[in-house]
Amino acid sequence: MLTSPIEIQREITTQRMLFQGPNKPHTNHIEQVPLSLSDGEILVKLTLATICGSDLHTYEGRRGCATPAVLGHEGVGIVQSVGDGADESLIGKRVTWTLTDTCGCCKPCTEWNIPQKCDHLFKYGHSQLSEGNGFNGCFASHITLRKGTHLVVIPDTLPDNFVVPANCALATMVAVIEPISQNPVPAKKIMIQGAGLLGVYGSALLKHYGVEEIWVTDVIQDRLDLVAEFGAKTILSSELHTLDRSSFDAVIEVAGVSQIIADGLKLLRPGGMYIWAGMVHDQTPLDILGVDIVKGCVNVIGLHNYSAEHLDQGIVFLDQTKDQFPWDKLVSIPLKLSELDKAIKLTQQRKWHRVSVSPNSCQ
Ligand SMILES: [Zn+2]
Ligand SMILES: [Zn+2]
């Protein structure tokens, strides 16, 4: 049954951890609010959220953000109510959602098929508190999803901790490997540069899709040991020179370090594909020769974020591989939402790919 605006006016108890500026403690804001939903909006009661690397960029001051704000964009939760025009059958369903809201009308959304670059893009967890009804990030008890946000109902077979980073890292990696899978010449040997969460998902996806030889390189041995459990052969970056040059059909950069691009080019065979997805900040000058791209006939592709179908594919992939890979090793056991600052410190220690908070635990 559609929840009428009058019913939605009832007061609910909410909690938000308000970001107050780089390296400052969050403010634990608990209040009774009459949550009103606009047409097409969906209210989700969050059950689990994780701290992404980009949250850390904001918290540590490398990425600008107006304050106060509610950070956090990786989350899962239960649909609590919907505004007029939204799908009422979603009420009570466990869902995740695209981390961006798009207009569906502009050229990037329609003609160019790159909705993640929508002219009117809204990103959850990166916006001012004054945007919408103020529930626009995942480090909170509730989040209001806008009309243009794509929701995915999560199969009951998948626990929250398997799914929670899917709407960021996993969906991005599904988008990253898409050009490889669409290439008429099948890739048999692929190198992933970077054994962070993107590298883990990349390895598992390529394994699942039948790529014969998947390599992951990094500077951290512990990360390589873990990604080996997701289908990859591993090698420290300092040992890359021992591999055959010009022998890889594709190389994927997800490390965010531009100095490794020259190494990747050496590994690529003529006509190979080089996908760049990790260099999302300004400190990425390139020291390579154009001739190596031209005479190597290298197909260079840059990718950022993803579109709705990639999240759909990611959830299907997780369900198909839930018993194949140790997904439970990626996300920490949850801390309380009120312990967000402690969870951020844990994230800074890099022992987990993701540290989680439970948004509706005891306040
Ligand atoms: Zn993220
Ligand atoms: Zn648009």
Q: How does DSSP classify residue 263? A: H
Question: Rounded distance, CA 158 to CA 179, Å?
Answer: 28
Of 52, 141, 57, 95, residue with least CA distance to 331: 52
How do residues 148-185 score in pLDDT, each as one tens digit? Answer: 899 999 999 999 999 999 999 999 999 999 999 999 89
Closest-lying ligand to the alpha carbon of 347?
A: 1
Which pLDDT belongs to residue 3?
Answer: 47
Q: Which CATH number, 3.40.1190.20, 3.40.50.720, 3.30.365.10, 3.40.50.1010, labels domain 170-302?
A: 3.40.50.720
Q: Where are the domains of the chain?
A: 5-157+322-358, 170-302
For residue 128, the one-letter residue type is Q
How much of the chain, in percent, has pLDDT values that exceed 90? 87
DSSP codes of every residue in 268-312? EEEEEEEEE-S--SS-------HHHHHHTT-EEEE--S--HHHHH
Query: In the structure encoding, which two tokens stand for residue 240, read together?
Result: 């890359």
CA of 216 to the centre of ligand 1 (A): 21
Reduce the DSSP state of residue 355 to 3 states and report it. strand
For 308-324, the pLDDT digits (tens) are 999 999 999 999 999 99
DSSP character string of 78-118: EEEEE-TTS-GGGTT-EEEE-SEE--S-STTTTTSS-GGG-
Token readout for 294 is 């031209």
Ligand found nearest the CA of 58: 1
Distance between terminal CA atoms of the chain? 31
Q: Which ligand is nearest to the CA of 112?
A: 2
Model pTM above 0.85: yes
5-157+322-358 — its CATH code? 3.90.180.10
CA of 116 to the centre of ligand 2 (A): 8
- What pLDDT is recorded for position 33? 86
Residue by residue, DSSP assigns 156-207 as TTS-HHHHGGGGTHHHHHHHHHHHHHHSSS---EEEEE--SHHHHHHHHHHH
